[in-house]
């Protein structure tokens, strides 16, 4: 039995400005929502989210759009970590609207020093916290 696994859940209230003329949420809004839901992950690296101390960089995003995303529906993003490597890790996320899986995403994030523009190893302490968010 694996215990102690956590999944981060963020409720989103869609904004009317995020719809487009097709009547649904514009696809380009999803990366904004997904980023919001990753905030607790960023805090592991930069506890007060100060911009001067920002030390992660997004290396890749993948999003599968499985259903139209609607304005009026209760919306939830579920966030976990699928893999932790030496200097980077992968966040996997799901967008649910009232029982429907509307999108699935994977984001590769690198621990990064902006000044030297170089990758940094992920410490054992942060690795442990990331692995607590591990989801298959």
Query: What is the distance between the alpha carbons of residues 107 and 105, in angstroms, rounded to a whole number?
Result: 7
51 is a site residue for a copy of itself (CB under 8 A): yes
2 is a site residue for a copy of itself (CB under 8 A): no
36 is a site residue for a copy of itself (CB under 8 A): yes
Q: Which two tokens stand for residue 129?
A: 């916290």
Assess contact for 13 and 75: CB atoms under 8 A. Answer: yes
Whichever of 62 and 132 has its CB closer to a copy of itself, that residue is: 62
Closest CA to 120 of 91, 81, 86, 84: 86
101 is a site residue for a copy of itself (CB under 8 A): no
Cα distances from 40 to residues 8, 28, 36, in angstroms, run 8, 22, 9
Query: Smallest distance, Å, CB 2 to a copy of itself?
Result: 30
Closest CA to 87 of 111, 104, 56: 111
116 is a site residue for a copy of itself (CB under 8 A): no
22 is a site residue for a copy of itself (CB under 8 A): yes
Assess contact for 112 and 118: CB atoms under 8 A. Answer: yes
Question: Where does this chain touch a copy of itself (CB under 8 A) — which range of 1-9, 51-59, 83-91, 121-129?
Answer: 51-59
9 is a site residue for a copy of itself (CB under 8 A): no
**Chain residues that interact with a copy of itself, rule: CB under 8 A:** 13, 15-17, 19-24, 26-29, 31-32, 35-36, 48-51, 54, 57-65, 68, 71-72, 114
């Amino acid at each position: 039995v694996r215990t102690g696994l956590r999944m981060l859940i963020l409720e989103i209230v869609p904004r009317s400005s995020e719809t487009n003329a097709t009547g649904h949420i514009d696809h380009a809004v999803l990366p904004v929502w997904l980023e919001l839901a990753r905030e607790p992950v960023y805090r592991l690296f930069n506890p007060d989210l100060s911009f001067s101390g920002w030390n992660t960089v997004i290396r890749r995003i993948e999003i599968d759009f499985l259903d139209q995303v609607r304005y009026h529906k209760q919306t939830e993003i579920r966030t976990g970590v699928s893999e932790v490597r030496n200097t980077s890790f992968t966040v996997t996320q799901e967008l649910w609207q009232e029982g429907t899986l509307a999108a699935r995403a994977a984001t590769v994030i690198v621990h990064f020093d902006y000044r030297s523009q170089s990758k940094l190893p992920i410490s054992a302490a942060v690795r442990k916290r990331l692995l607590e968010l591990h989801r298959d």
